[in-house]
């Protein structure tokens, strides 16, 4: 059975969206023992040597690693979730989870080995991962029942080590219903908090989870991003498969590409500032989860559509500058300028910009043939030499097609269609 499981893992690792899995052992001074961990490196980790990645720490890594990795791999495929470094702590081999999560009966604080395990994570494991891998500052912790209740103890710190908490059907230590709400109200840094239960959950645990939700709902803290879910028709164990993607999409909502809903409700309705919206979207991504990423080509297309829809053609200039920064070798920046001139009726300058774009690398659906065709159509509308009327600038002849164009190597491929009145949401595998 173990050999079959290993074979499945090895086959899955060949996928472009799979994570490289490493099994490691840490000698803990706090625990006075060796602890096994499993590390999942993002698909792009080796290729993208300048990128840093958030940490997702899984208590109960023995059985939570695979479902979290599966949900993340699906999100990677659609570019809906960012790549992360997964760290799973083994706690089931010697039935360690109960001792690891021991708490004092009256205070609910980590006690005995639980206190040592608490320090092991914050003072040994996290520094070890940060030292040996390229990590972003953003850190997530997740667990189920016993470990889910225990991970909440990190919120008792004035400056919690984790930025996001996924607490699935937590078995709450003493007093935690009221204390977690108090801590979430007092913490002054951005915190993501997700917890869940189900109608088929353990009754006494479910009652306390619901009580904690009622207390947290009273919290007024603009830095708290809170979500609670009560799944219908699910058991204590099956609700995990509902909770994982829901929690990940809550935490990483800011990462997702511009959707049709976002375009219609938040962008197209703006009177101006469409490019500013795009810049702010990626600035928030960097500030909230520590990720600095290249602006997606599809997001450029969405802003193009908003500019055209609202006839805010001058904003193409700002969009062109942004394209030149993120895709300096591609034709995108000159294409944006050409659109501005064409929409404003300055066909001579539009032709020059299309021909300038022709000299650059193709990107997405923008091709050299397209640039030449658009330039030729506009040139036909320009006044001929010798005719009366305002003299137009001289337009260069169409350059000959190049025969040895190398495909661009620094820009990601895309199947996005040409810009329309609304952005395209459809994605094709």
Q: Determine the Cα–Cα distance for residues 75 and 252; give it in Å rounded to an integer.
A: 10
The mean pLDDT of 19-29, rounded to a whole number, is: 91
How far apart CA 388 and CA 65 sit, in angstroms, is 75
The confidence score (pLDDT) of residue 17 equals 54
Asked if 206 and 239 touch (Cβ cutoff 8 Å), the reply is: no
Is the pLDDT score of 427 beyond 70?
A: no
pLDDT, position 20: 84
> Average per-residue pLDDT in the chain?
88
Instruction: Tell whether the model's pLDDT for residue 384 goes beyond 50.
Output: yes
Q: pLDDT tens digits for 358-371?
A: 999 999 999 999 99
Task: Measure the CA–CA gap between 25 and 230, rounded to whole angstroms.
Answer: 37
Checking if the pLDDT of 195 tops 90, the result is: yes
Question: Is pLDDT above 50 for 12?
Answer: no
Query: Stretch 237-243: mean pLDDT, rounded?
Result: 97
Residue 420: pLDDT over 80 = no
Percent of the chain with pLDDT over 90: 80
Q: Are 28 and 45 in contact (CB under 8 A)?
A: no
Q: With 60 as the cut, is the pLDDT of residue 406 above it?
A: no
pLDDT value at 160 more than 70: yes
Between 158 and 123, name the one with better pLDDT.
123
Least confident of 8-12, 14-18, 172-176, 276-280: 8-12
Model confidence at 266, pLDDT cuts 50, 70, 90, reads: very high
Instruction: State yes or no: pLDDT of 422 exceeds 60.
Output: no
Average pLDDT over residues 186-208: 95
Q: What is the structure's pLDDT at 151? A: 97
Query: Do the bridges between strand 135-144 and strand 164-168 make them parallel or antiparallel, or are there none, so unpaired?
Result: parallel
Mean pLDDT of 186-203: 96
- pLDDT at residue 84, rounded to an integer: 97
* Planar angle of CA 198, 203, 204, nearest 5 degrees: 125
Backbone angles phi, psi at 13, to 5 degrees: -70, -15
Whether residue 389 is predicted with pLDDT greater than 70 in this model: the reply is no
Q: Tell me how far apart the alpha carbons of residues 224 and 226 are, in angstroms, rounded to a whole number.
A: 6
Is residue 308 within 8 Å of residue 316, measured between CB atoms? no
pLDDT over 60 (residue 10): no
Identify the CA nearest to 416 among candidates 369, 370, 374, 366.
Answer: 366
Q: What is the pLDDT of residues 39-61, one digit of tens each?
A: 999 999 999 888 999 999 999 99
- pTM comes to 0.81
Of 54, 58, 67, 68, the closest CA to residue 88 belongs to: 58
Domain range 2-255, CATH architecture: 3-Layer(aba) Sandwich (3.40)
Instruction: Please report which confidence band the pLDDT of residue 92 belongs to, taking 50, 70 and 90 as the band edges.
Output: confident
pLDDT average, residue stretch 16-31:
85
Q: What pLDDT is recorded for position 381?
A: 86
Helical segments of 159-273, H only: 176-186, 203-216, 239-251, 260-262
Mean pLDDT of 314-329: 97
Given a cut of 90, is residue 138 above it in pLDDT? yes
CB proximity list for 143: less than 8 A, separation 6 or greater: 58, 59, 60, 64, 149, 150, 151, 166, 167, 168, 170
């Amino acid at each position: 059975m173990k050999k079959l499981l290993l074979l499945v893992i090895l086959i899955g690792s060949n996928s472009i969206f799979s994570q490289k899995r490493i099994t490691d052992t840490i000698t803990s001074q706090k625990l006075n023992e060796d602890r096994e961990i499993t590390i999942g490196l993002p698909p792009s980790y080796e290729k993208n040597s300048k990128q840093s990645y958030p940490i997702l720490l899984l208590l109960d890594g023995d059985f939570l690693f695979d479902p979290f990795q599966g949900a993340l791999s699906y999100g990677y495929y659609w570019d809906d979730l960012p790549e992360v470094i997964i760290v799973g702590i083994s706690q089931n081999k010697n039935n360690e989870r109960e001792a690891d999560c021991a708490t004092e009966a009256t205070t609910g604080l980590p006690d005995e080995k639980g206190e040592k395990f608490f320090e092991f994570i914050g003072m040994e494991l996290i520094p070890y991962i940060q030292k040996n891998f390229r990590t972003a500052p953003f850190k997530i912790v997740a667990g189920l029942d016993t470990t889910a209740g225990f991970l909440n103890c990190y919120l008792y710190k004035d400056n919690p080590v984790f930025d996001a908490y996924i607490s699935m059907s937590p078995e709450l230590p003493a007093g935690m219903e009221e204390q977690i709400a108090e801590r979430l109200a007092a913490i002054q840094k951005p915190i993501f908090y997700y917890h869940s239960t189900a109608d088929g959950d353990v009754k006494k645990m479910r009652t306390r989870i619901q009580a904690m939700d009622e207390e947290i709902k009273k919290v007024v803290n603009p830095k708290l991003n809170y979500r609670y879910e009560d799944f219908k028709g699910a058991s204590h164990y099956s609700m995990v498969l509902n909770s994982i993607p829901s929690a990940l999409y809550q935490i990483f909502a800011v990462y997702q590409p511009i959707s049709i809903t976002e375009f219609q409700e938040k962008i197209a309705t703006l009177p101006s500032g469409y490019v500013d919206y795009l810049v702010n979207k990626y600035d928030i991504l960097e500030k909230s989860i520590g990720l600095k990423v290249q602006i997606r080509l599809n997001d450029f297309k969405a802003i193009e559509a908003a500019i055209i829809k609202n006839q805010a053609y001058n904003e193409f200039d700002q969009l062109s500058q942004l394209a030149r920064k993120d895709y300096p070798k591609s034709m995108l920046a000159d294409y944006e300028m050409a659109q501005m001139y064409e929409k404003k009726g300055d066909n001579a300058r539009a032709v020059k910009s299309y021909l300038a774009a022709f000299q650059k690398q193709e990107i997405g659906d923008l091709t050299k043939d397209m640039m030449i065709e658009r330039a030729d159509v506009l040139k036909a509308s320009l006044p001929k030499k010798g005719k009366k009327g305002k003299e137009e600038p001289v337009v260069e002849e169409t350059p000959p097609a190049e025969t040895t164009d190398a495909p661009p190597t620094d820009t990601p491929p895309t199947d996005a269609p040409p810009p329309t009145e609304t952005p395209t949401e459809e994605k094709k595998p």
